Amino acid sequence: GDVRLWGARFADGPSEALAALSASVHFDWRLAPYDLAGSRAHARVLHKANLLTDDELTRMLAGLDQLEADFEAGTFVATVADEDIHSALERGLLERLGANLGGKLRAGRSRNDQVTTLFRMYLRDHARIIGGLIADLQDALVGLADAHKDVAMPGRTHLQHAQPVLFAHHVLAHVQALSRDAERLRQWDERTAVSPYGSGALAGSSLGLDPESVAADLGFEHGSSGNSIDGTASRDYAAEFAFITAMIGINLSRIAEEVILWNTKEFSFVTLHDAFSTGSSIMPQKKNPDIAELARGKSGRLIGNLTGLMATLKALPLAYNRDLQEDKEPLFDSCEQLEVLLPAFTGMMATLTVHRERMEELAPAGFSLATDVAEWLVKQGVPFRVAHEVAGECVKVCEQQGIELDQLTDEQFAKISEHLTPEVRTVLNVSGALASRSSRGGTAPSAVRVQTIELKANLIIQ
Ligand code: ARG
């Protein structure tokens, strides 16, 4: 028979070319479990409205259970002729229950309110999965910071040596960014906990169904849509989810880029674990940071998923348009890419070997203590403008002689400025420079300790 849900007024079936273009079963099968949950909730609300008898409801729910079992066992298969997974499962139900009973389920709902409800459910589940994977990465990074509490490294701006920082402080900066990503997912979930089921094709239902009870049944904590047109036509929740996943990708790619640099011969800050790096088919000496590179690469793909969806949504008139079917593949992809990337990325970070001697050797290099000289002068009452000039003069002399700041003699200091007494040496070392930055959020060991405690507490509630 004709499997189309809309065949009645059409003399001809769809052309092959249309069917090929229109079909979405090859990707929207992912919505099958949510479709079945939606159908159960819809059956119950039809029963509440006296549109299904007690016996019909019982048989309907049994039919849906059977369909679910057959789908999982692979004995019920959606085909291209079904168009989408929702028509496929409806066909499956009709085959199992007969048209008289099976045909009653479609009353008062449309694929327009179905798809967007089920899509919300899918994304809400994956927000939790991705949130959990982010927490695992944060745990690994906090562990990395904890294991190297007192290691100094060159802090950089413009990729140039700027000021020494604690390695832990640097790593925790990434944890802070990931905490905001996790928070974004939680806040998104709150906003998305509204069910469009019951909006029908666009105008609502005349059958006296109760959308609020469907919403509760499907776990939407904030009830059902206040506007059926908005319910069926809006996809800002999908765009927002695509942004959050793209931002996660971007944050991972920033860590990745650093790992790639740190792992070069020139930096030699870290060594990757064998299990989380790859070799070269031709160069036997190679040990490549492929996980970090894939993170960097996939972040571009995640950004593409976001911009592609936004371009699809732009200027779409209300209410549902078939363009909206293009919402699913990019979002499924964003979820699946992060879910395969994050565990590997966490493994890479958890097994990183840090070369503390190398980091510490470079921490004071490149005149990174020049600011400390200037700030020391300020504490002696010298105006910062003068202090900055004097410290700059020190750097100039060092550059001319090919030495570091702490190698200047007392005479050289005195010649540069009368304010530069030998006491300036107290700040010309990394540990003094670190310890002095002890106000909230600073890189002093005491401040980093506070930060670690706060992040750990945040990870527990997250
Ligand atoms: N599969 C479509 C989608 O994902 C839903 C089908 C709605 N079709 C329609 N003609 N109203 O958006």
Specify the DSSP element, H or E, that contains 161: strand 160-166
Is the C-beta atom of 324 inside 6 A of ligand 1? Answer: yes
Domain, as residue range, for 48: 7-107
Residue owning the nearest CA to atom 5 of ligand 1: 111
What is the CA 461 to chain-centroid distance, rounded?
Answer: 18
Q: How far is the CA of 104 from the CAs of 46, 47, 97, 221, in angstroms?
A: 9, 11, 10, 28
In a domain, 456, yes or no: no
- Which of 301, 180, 169, 310 lies closest to 251 in space, CA to CA? 180
- Span from the CA of 80 to the centroid of ligand 1 (angstroms): 14
Asked if residue 377 and residue 355 are part of one domain, the reply reads: no
- Span from the CA of 25 to the centroid of ligand 1 (angstroms): 11
Give the ligand 1 atom nearest the CA of 112: 7
The per-residue pLDDT for 2 is: 55
Is the C-beta atom of 90 inside 6 A of ligand 1? Answer: no
Give the ligand 1 atom nearest the CA of 24: 1
Enumerate the H helices of 111-166 as residue ranges: 111-147
Asked if residue 243 and residue 229 are part of one domain, the reply reads: yes
- Which of 199, 37, 217 lies closest to 122 in space, CA to CA? 37
In a domain, 138, yes or no: yes
Asked if residue 165 and residue 51 are part of one domain, the reply reads: no
Task: Out of 325, 326, 331, give the residue to mutate to test ligand 1, the one with the largest number of ligand atoms within 8 Å of its CB.
Answer: 325
Is the C-beta atom of 116 inside 6 A of ligand 1? Answer: no
Which pair of structure tokens corresponds to residue 368? Answer: 């990174």
Residue owning the nearest CA to atom 2 of ligand 1: 325
For residue 157, the cross-strand partners are 160
The per-residue pLDDT for 145 is: 98
Is the C-beta atom of 312 inside 6 A of ligand 1? Answer: no
Asked if residue 353 and residue 234 are part of one domain, the reply reads: yes
Is 280 assigned a catalytic role?
yes
Asked if residue 214 and residue 92 are part of one domain, the reply reads: no
Asked if residue 160 and residue 294 are part of one domain, the reply reads: yes
- CA separation for the pair 33, 72 (Å, rounded): 9
Asked if residue 287 and residue 159 are part of one domain, the reply reads: yes
For residue 160, the cross-strand partners are 157
- CA separation for the pair 216, 40 (Å, rounded): 12
The per-residue pLDDT for 90 is: 96
The per-residue pLDDT for 4 is: 66
Q: How far is the CA of 41 from the CAs of 34, 38, 44, 64, 209, in angstroms?
A: 11, 5, 5, 11, 11
Which pair of structure tokens corresponds to residue 42? Answer: 């819809």
Backbone φ and ψ for 152, nearest 5 degrees, come out as -95, 150
Question: Is 0.85 exceeded by the ipTM?
Answer: yes
Specify the DSSP element, H or E, that contains 449: helix 445-461
DSSP result, 266-288: TT--EE--GGG-B--SS-TT--B
Q: Which amino acid is at 222?
A: H
Maximum distance among all alpha carbons in the chain?
A: 102
**CA angle, 25 then 214 then 197, to 5°:** 50
Whichever domain contains 55, its CATH number is: 1.10.275.10
Query: Could you report the average pLDDT of every consecutive run of 10 residues in the chain (462 residues)?
Result: 66 88 96 98 98 98 98 94 95 96 96 98 98 98 97 97 97 98 98 98 94 98 98 98 98 98 97 92 87 98 98 98 98 98 98 98 92 93 95 95 93 95 92 94 97 94 78
- Which of 142, 148, 146 lies closest to 355 in space, CA to CA? 148
Asked if residue 122 and residue 96 are part of one domain, the reply reads: no
- Which of 303, 282, 279, 299 lies closest to 290 in space, CA to CA? 279
Whichever domain contains 424, its CATH number is: 1.10.40.30
List the catalytic residue out of 110, 158, 170, 213. 158
The per-residue pLDDT for 27 is: 97
Q: Which amino acid is at 160?
A: Q
Final residue belonging to a domain, choices 327, 343, 361: 361
List the catalytic residue out of 15, 26, 273, 280. 280
Please report the sign of the dihedral spanned by the C-alpha atoms of residue 320, residue 325, residue 330, residue 332. Answer: positive
- Span from the CA of 101 to the centroid of ligand 1 (angstroms): 24
The per-residue pLDDT for 398 is: 95
Is 26 assigned a catalytic role?
no
The per-residue pLDDT for 80 is: 87
- Span from the CA of 323 to the centroid of ligand 1 (angstroms): 9
My answer on whether omega of the bond before 152 falls inside 30° of 0, hence cis, is no
Residue owning the nearest CA to atom 4 of ligand 1: 325
Report the 10 Å Cβ neighbour count for 220: 23
Enumerate the H helices of 266-380 as residue ranges: 290-313, 328-350, 356-362, 370-379
Total tally of structural domains belonging to the chain: 3
Do the beta carbons of residue 259 and residue 276 sit within 8 Å?
A: no
Final residue belonging to a domain, choices 84, 107, 130: 107
